[in-house]
Amino acid sequence: MNMEEQFILSPARQLTDAEKELIWRRPPSHKASEEELRICREIKRNWNRGEMKIANILLEGDAGSGKTQLAKALSARLGLPYTKVTCFADMDKTDVIGAILPVVSRESLEKMEPEEQKLLKALYESDGFQSAAEILMDVLGVSQEQAALRMKKLLKLAAENTEGEAVEYRFYPSEIVRAYQKGYILEIQEPTVIRDAAVLMALNSALELDGSINLPTEIIRRHPDFIAVITTNRNYAGCRPLNEALRDRIQHTEKMDLPPKEVMMERAAAKTGYRNREVLDVLAEIIIVLDKTARANAIKGVAGMRSFFYWADAVAAGASARESLYHKVIYKITTDSEEIRLLEEALTSQGLLASLEEVELEVKKTKC
């Protein structure tokens, strides 16, 4: 068997062209990680073992550690379409399950604002492949949360414009239901922010291995290929821990931190095209020390992979490494002078600011 295909879960499954489009294609910059291979092996190993099946995964850890990309990499490896839901505080049950939209008559439709007409038409004309939120995101170019809010306004509007009439209703399943029913990989981003306990319960029952979801129109069974990947940043301000009941449904968890220095350098080189190993080494080392120091001193911000990429990219473009350290990394962690002093001290005591100056000099010399 081809190495690339060793983890395909359901080789006999026929996907539609639209579904095939949803399978992630690894870009050349993607580097397979240990976590990725471990999860694939685990899922594959237990795939046909009934109750022991592993289909609810939790990736918890630092922002930028690669959780979303790992969920996408699973799509590529396992051969399943990828989709995601970005949770938000005011999520309600229609966001988890879907919405019932009355079909407004042509006359009423024509009296509405042009944008409202456009949105309702897009919804009525959809072939049912996309969820309502996806349709609105496409038409308006907005985030999932904004699309969800917009949908609620449209529901109200449609209800007002059909009052007292005998109308046809259409049900629009949510992205969650779609993935659940059709057997996709669903990344559930940050369910920790959801406030309504009933919404958490609905999400929780959707994660039952042998579960089903009750829609107003029908009962939907969990597709055997449905895999839920919950991704959550540990401990960031305003973020509660993951609900215990949800946590209890998880069958495999990865703790996602800053990757090892080698991997950090590899990813940064792949992403920015900058390949000066000596420089990348010092920058990575500094990120690691800042990350540790921030934690040890209860400084809230993060020095993560994203800061590292932007910093390396600025240096690659000729910016001073010392100066851009502040704009790309330190000020993103904190702008409090006392906290900045603590971070600087940590770098000085490990000789890292000196190393930074050294590699900068080297770079300048080779350019002359």
Ligand X SMILES: Nc1ncnc2c1ncn2[C@@H]1O[C@H](COP(=O)(O)OP(=O)(O)O)[C@@H](O)[C@H]1O
List interacting residues with Mg ion (CB under 5 A).
67-68
142 close to 136: Cβ distance less than 8 angstroms: yes
Q: Which of residues 313-332 bind ligand X (CB under 6 A)?
A: none
What's the closest the beta carbon of residue 313 comes to ligand X, in angstroms? Answer: 11
Exposure letters 281-312 (e unless 16+ CB within 10 A, then b): bbbbbbbbbbbebbeeeebebbbbbebbbbbb
Q: How many chain residues interact with ligand X (CB under 6 A)?
A: 16
Query: Using the rule CB under 6 A, is 63 a contact of ligand X?
Result: yes
Upper half-sphere CA count for residue 113 (Cβ side, 13 Å): 6
Enumerate residues 6+ apart whose C-beta is below 8 A from 71: 59, 82, 84, 185, 187, 229, 231
Query: Using the rule CB under 6 A, is 98 a contact of ligand X?
Result: no
* Residue type at position 216: P
Query: Using the rule CB under 6 A, is 253 a contact of ligand X?
Result: no
Neighbour count for residue 357 (Cβ, 10 Å):
13
Among 290, 305, 333, 356, binds ligand X (CB under 6 A): 305
What's the closest the beta carbon of residue 181 comes to ligand X, in angstroms? Answer: 26
Residue placing its CB nearer to ligand X in the complex, 86 or 162: 86
Query: Using the rule CB under 6 A, is 105 a contact of ligand X?
Result: no
Among 65, 83, 94, 204, binds ligand X (CB under 6 A): 65
27 close to 76: Cβ distance less than 8 angstroms: no
Q: Which of residues 29-58 bind ligand X (CB under 6 A)?
A: 29-31, 33
Query: Using the rule CB under 6 A, is 193 a contact of ligand X?
Result: no
Q: Which does 270 bind (CB under 5 to 8 A by kind): Mg ion, ligand X, none?
A: ligand X
Q: Which residue is nearest to ligand X (CB)?
A: 66
User: CA-CA distance, 55 to 7, in Å (whole number)?
Assistant: 14
What's the closest the beta carbon of residue 38 comes to Mg ion, in angstroms? Answer: 19
Q: Which span sits near ligand X by CB under 6 A: 8-16, 64-72, 91-99, 202-210? A: 64-72
What's the closest the beta carbon of residue 79 comes to ligand X, in angstroms? Answer: 18
End-to-end Cα, the chain, rounded Å: 52
CA quadruple 337, 341, 343, 348: dihedral sign: positive
Among 60, 66, 116, 303, binds ligand X (CB under 6 A): 66
* Backbone dihedral region for residue 183 (phi beyond 0: left; psi -120 to 50: alpha; all else: beta): left
Residue with tokens 């996907």: 15
Among 68, 126, 334, 350, binds ligand X (CB under 6 A): 68
Enumerate residues 6+ apart whose C-beta is below 8 A from 298: none
Query: Using the rule CB under 6 A, is 264 a contact of ligand X?
Result: no
What's the closest the beta carbon of residue 83 comes to ligand X, in angstroms? Answer: 15
Query: Using the rule CB under 6 A, is 86 a contact of ligand X?
Result: no
Q: Binding residues for ligand X, per CB under 6 A?
A: 29-31, 33, 63-69, 231, 267, 270, 305-306
